[in-house]
Each structure stands twice: as C-alpha cells, then as structure tokens.
Amino acid sequence: MCPDASRHGSTDRRLSAMISDEIAQHLRTARGALCDHPHLEEEAVHRARKTLKKVRAGLRLLEDAGADVPGGATALCRDVGRLLSDLRDTDVCLQTLDRLFSAPEEAPDRLVKKLQAARAKIHETDTPGSAARNAIAKDLEGLERILLGVKQKKAGDRSIRRAVKKTRAIGRRRYKKLQDCDSPEGFHDLRKAAKRELYQDRYLLQGAEPDERLQAVHRLTEHLGLQQDLVVLEQVAQSLDELSADLRRRIETAMRAEKDQAMAVAQTVYGERH
C-alpha cells in the first residue's frame, strides 16, 4: 500500500513535500466550491466540507510526524466546515428520506416541505455571503502559500508512516470500545477515526491503487456515514415535530442494518489479525 520504504529513508522528506502539495490542491478545490458560484448548491456544500476534512487529516498527519504546520490551520478548516453544517444537515435529511421511501410521493410531505423551507432560510440568513466566502477563500489561500513555503520544516517519510499507524491504533481502540458499549457517540467516534485513517492512507498512496484493507476502511466509513445520516434525520424530524411512528420504524430498521454491516466490516479492518 505504501511506497517502497527502501527508497525513503528516515531523512528523506519527499513524501512530506508531496503531501503538502496534495493538501494545497485540496485547499484550491475548497476555495472553488465556496466561491465559484453566487449560491452554495448542495453538491458544492458537500464538496467543500469533504475536501476540508481531507485537509485536516493531512495537516494532522504532518503535525504528528513532526512537520511544521501553520498555527490555527486545523481550526480554520474546522470552523469553515461548521459554517456549512446546518445547510449540510438539511441536505442529508432530504437525501436520507429519498433512500427510505421508494417513491417521492410516499415521503412525509410536511417534513419535506419543512426541510426545504429550513434550507431556504439558512441560505438567506446563516450561510456566509459572497463577501464572507471571499474572506474565507483568502485565508485558505494564505494557508496554501505557507504550506508550500520553502522554509517549512518537513517530516521524514518513516515518521509519516508511524503517524498513520498511530491513527490506525486510535480506530482500533474505538472499535473495541464500541464492542463493549454500543452507542451513537461510539459509532460517530469510530467514523471520525476511520475517515482520518482513510484520508491519511490515501496521501501515502500518491495515486496508487488501494489494497483490500483500505477498500474495507472506505466501506466502513460509508456504512457509518449512512448510519449517522439516519441519526441526524431522526433528530431533525423530532425537532420539527414530524417524527411519525412509520418514519421512526423505517429509520430504526435502516439503522440496524447499517450498524450490523458496519460492525462486520470493522471486524475485518480492526479485528485482532490487524
């Protein structure tokens, strides 16, 4: 999965430089998603949030490996993602309803209308306007310039690989904790750890094909993501006083299926043989 270690000694810092370049590309993608259009559409919100998570995972990887990371960089990416979280939640709820009901007309009409109205209101009142998004884009551009600066201390390749193993160990501990105590928070924590490992391992691949284990990590994050979407839908529907008995039953049935599949894949990823 990783590049040949024989070509990357402990003092070799080529991998660190390549990861910094890839993080910079992700920053440019996030800027484009935020600023290329006057209104933030559903796909742009998803792309910006996902890309910023990749940036955070890469920054954490470099920091854990001993590289210089600009102060406040991770917090900046986290705060920008949070600005879009309410908008993303309404999108997630609408998408999840589509999965729960085989035909659009079967979905609870009042809930759908309330979600659509909430999304429109968020656009008008809470979503960063063009001026604010341009300011965010400038901050992200500044972070990109610092990352690519020649004076930045780079991490050794072996240190980077050790940092990824550290992330993997966090995922294994969270999986074992979840085995002992099944809770929504536990599944959410496992998802965050698996996501970070997925993104960090992809930085190591540098375009190479993922191995079977990393493909399983990807499947795990997908199941955990769908399960989290169901949790969000249940919470939002209840807050809007639209959580009917039928909707609750559908959510609980789908949630059990996703949990079972997630735990089966997690055993493959984080079981004793790994």
- How much is the average pLDDT of 71-81? 86
Across the chain, mean pLDDT equals: 87
pLDDT score at 3: 43
- Would you say 3 and 148 are in contact if contact means Cβ atoms under 8 Å apart? no
pLDDT for 11 equals 44
Stretch 89-114: mean pLDDT: 91
HSE of 143, CA atoms in CB hemisphere, 13 A:
28
User: With 60 as the cut, is the pLDDT of residue 150 above it?
Assistant: no
Q: Return d(Cα 211, Cα 205) in angstroms, integer.
A: 10
Nearest to 61 by CA among 154, 124, 126, 140: 154
Read off the pLDDT band of 4 (50, 70, 90): very low
CA distance 268 to 262: 10
Please tell me the predicted confidence (pLDDT) of residue 272: 66
Residue ranges per domain, the chain? Answer: 12-84+127-155, 105-126+157-274
Convert the pLDDT of each residue in 39-70 to its tens digit. Answer: 767 778 888 889 999 999 999 999 999 888 88
pLDDT of residue 2: 42
DSSP string, 49-108: HHHHHHHHHHHHHHHHTT----TTHHHHHHHHHHHTHHHHHHHHHHHHHHHHSSSGGGS-
Give residue 12's pLDDT band: very low, low, confident or very high (50, 70, 90): low
pLDDT in tens, 155-180: 888 999 999 999 999 999 999 999 99
Give me the pLDDT at residue 34, please. Answer: 83
- Contact in structure between 157 and 8 (CB atoms under 8 Å): yes
Range name among 5-14, 25-34, 105-114 with the lowest pLDDT average: 5-14
Q: What gap in Å lies between CA 73 and CA 172, rounded to an integer? A: 27
Q: Is the pLDDT of residue 105 over 90?
A: no
Tell me the percentage of the chain whose pLDDT exceeds 70. Answer: 91
Whether 1 has a pLDDT exceeding 50, the answer reads: no
Q: DSSP string of the chain?
A: -PPPGGGS-TT--HHHHHHHHHHHHHHHHHHHHHHSSSS--HHHHHHHHHHHHHHHHHHHHHHHTT----TTHHHHHHHHHHHTHHHHHHHHHHHHHHHHSSSGGGS-HHHHHHHHHHHHHHHHHTS--HHHHHHHHHHHHHHHHHHT-TTSPPPPHHHHHHHHHHHHHHHHHHHHHHHHS--HHHHHHHHHHHHHHHHHHHHHHTTPPP-HHHHHHHHHHHHHHHHHHHHHHHHHHHHTT---HHHHHHHHHHHHHHHHHHHHHHHHHHSTT-
**Above 70 in pLDDT, residue 7?**
no
199, 251 Cβ separation under 8 angstroms: no
182 CB neighbour count, 10 Å cutoff: 10
State pLDDT tens for residues 189-220. Answer: 999 999 999 999 999 988 789 999 999 999 99
pLDDT tens figures, 106-149:
889 999 999 999 888 887 776 677 788 888 888 888 888 888 77
Q: How far is CA 159 from CA 8, 45, 156, 196, in A?
A: 11, 34, 5, 17
